[in-house]
Amino acid sequence: MNIEPCDNFSFSKGSALVPFFILIVFAVLMTAAPIRAAQTYSRPELVRFQNRIVDYRSRINPRFRKKVRPKTRLIIVHTSELGLKSTLRVVSRGKRFKNGRTTPGGHANYVVARNGTVYRILDKKYRADHAGLSMWNGVSNVSDISVGIEFVGYHYASLTTSQYKSAGMLLDILKRVYGLEDKDVLTHSQISYGKPNRWFSNNHRGRKRCAKNFDRTRAGLGPTWPFDPDVRAGSLAPDPMLAQVFYPAPGTVASIGKKASQIQESDVISKQNSAWAIAGEDYDAPNTVYILPGGKTLPGDRVASNWGWDRLPEGTKVMLNQKTQQVREQAKSIIKTISGRMTAWSHAGGAYHAPSTIYFLPSGRILNGYTISDWDDLPSGTRLVVGYKGPIVITQNKTAYAIAGAKFKHPGTIYHIPGRGPVQGNRIPDFSDLPKGTGVYLPIAG
């Protein structure tokens, strides 16, 4: 793959490299300066990291027009709300909306996968269209003054140790290049704002929930700003939940770390967790899907007319960036299928690595959740069941009835048939014809 040589030590806004002796002086000064983060890396470490970056620039949509940023004042981190393949496709090729409108891509400079691999989508000097409607410290259109980094994952689920390790080195490089401080690294949820809607009567913070779970300490960063400058200036109304996460009152949370980043870290509606708190401005988007406790599914743009926002019950699950029909089909099925949009986390949440979550890979392998290091490692087409025990193998002396009792034909009893994969009990016409090695999986709940 084609890697930009020593991209991390290019201090000009063009492509010229700083002479090595200047680099040494700069590195010494930066190490001694109070603006440096507690976590720093040696030049060999950063060069090794640099050489491992995957060059994805050739995949950019040809419609995207590259423009060099005249200045760089901020680094903005995002969560993609998708799996890796979908994330790479969207940030490089663009977004497609239900009404047929598309964007030309270029939505991030870098993507950080859950295994720590970093992809370069655009050279850092180019403006990425990543921040949308945004403002920070009185400056609008934050994309014009910032580098955009996309983390594969969801804002209500933890990022991985590998992602934080890569983030630490990538941020160290970018801060050195642009002479930035730790406080110049912000999340999309901090800088985005929205126009008036049913939740707010004025322009307001909180349009995006993106990366509200970003733990600065684990990325080697010091604290963020102690206040929102645009809210303080009266330009924007505050978002109470985000204010609690990023700017807690003195004495409540000492720093923005794990405690603050885990506030309302859920995709399920409750008394404390509204549709707005979970999805931000995407609460009524057609690709935001609500799964009600009984299994009924509604796209965000149909909730008001078909159900009513005030009537959404507690326990309703909120899924971003989805196709309603696909979610509806999956919600009805006991055997779930992993696809580009619907990851293991989409189906199982935090139970993706539970022993009772069983994965049936396209290769024929069967894995228990506790053997899965991360939900994004699983290939598309993998099927899974949540809350099961097994397998109990059918033998000549141990029939399906002996294993499952009267529920041997029940749709909740799952049979793994060699060469065919998982099948529900009610889909098997002849149990006397089951091949040798068929395994039975039974729901733990009975």
Q: State the Cα torsion 323-328-331-334 to the nearest 10°.
A: -110
Task: State the Cα angle at 80 between 77 and 85, rounded to 5°.
Answer: 130
CB under 8 Å to 362, separation ≥6 — which residues? 379, 381, 382
DSSP assignment of 200-234: -SS-EE-S--TTTT--TGGGT-----SS-HHHHTT
| 90 CA to centre of own chain | 13
pLDDT by 10s per residue, the chain, length 446: 322 333 433 433 333 333 433 333 334 333 333 334 446 788 899 999 999 999 999 999 999 999 999 999 999 999 999 999 999 999 999 988 767 788 999 999 999 999 999 999 999 999 999 999 999 999 999 999 999 999 999 999 999 999 999 999 999 999 999 999 999 999 999 999 999 988 899 999 999 999 999 999 999 999 899 999 999 999 999 999 999 999 988 765 444 444 444 444 689 999 888 999 999 999 999 999 999 998 899 999 999 999 999 899 999 999 999 989 999 999 989 999 999 889 999 999 999 999 999 999 999 999 999 999 999 999 999 999 999 999 999 998 899 999 999 999 999 999 999 989 999 999 999 998 899 899 999 999 86
CA distance 292 to 289: 10
CA distance 402 to 164: 50
Question: Which residue is associated with the tokens 């400079």?
Answer: 109
With residue 163 as reference, give the H or E element that holds it: helix 161-178
Tell me the Ramachandran region of residue 332: left when phi exceeds 0, alpha when psi lies from -120 to 50, beta otherwise: alpha
The residue ranges of every structural domain in the chain are 7-261, 266-332
CA distance 387 to 336: 12
CA distance 75 to 212: 15
**Tokens representing residue 417 in the block:** 């048939």
Q: State the Cα torsion 31-33-35-39 to the nearest 10°.
A: 20
DSSP assignment of 322-376: --HHHHHHHHH-SSEE--SSS-HHHHHGGGGGSTTEEEE-TTS-EEEGGG-S-GG
Q: By the 8 A CB rule, do 38 and 220 touch?
A: yes
SS3 440: strand
Q: By the 8 A CB rule, do 123 and 109 touch?
A: yes
Based on the number of CB atoms within 10 Å of its own CB, is 292 exposed (0-12), middle (13-18) or buried (19 or more)? middle
Each residue's pLDDT tens digit, 221-237: 998 999 999 999 999 99
pTM: 0.86
With residue 148 as reference, give the H or E element that holds it: strand 146-151
Q: Quick one: which of 357, 442, 352, 354 has its CA closest to 406?
A: 442
Q: By the 8 A CB rule, do 369 and 359 touch?
A: yes
7-261 has which CATH code?
A: 3.40.80.10
Is the preceding peptide bond at 226 cis, omega within 30 degrees of 0? no
Tell me what percent of the residues of the chain surpass a pLDDT of 90.
77
Q: Where are the alpha helices (DSSP H) in 43-140?
A: 43-51, 84-93
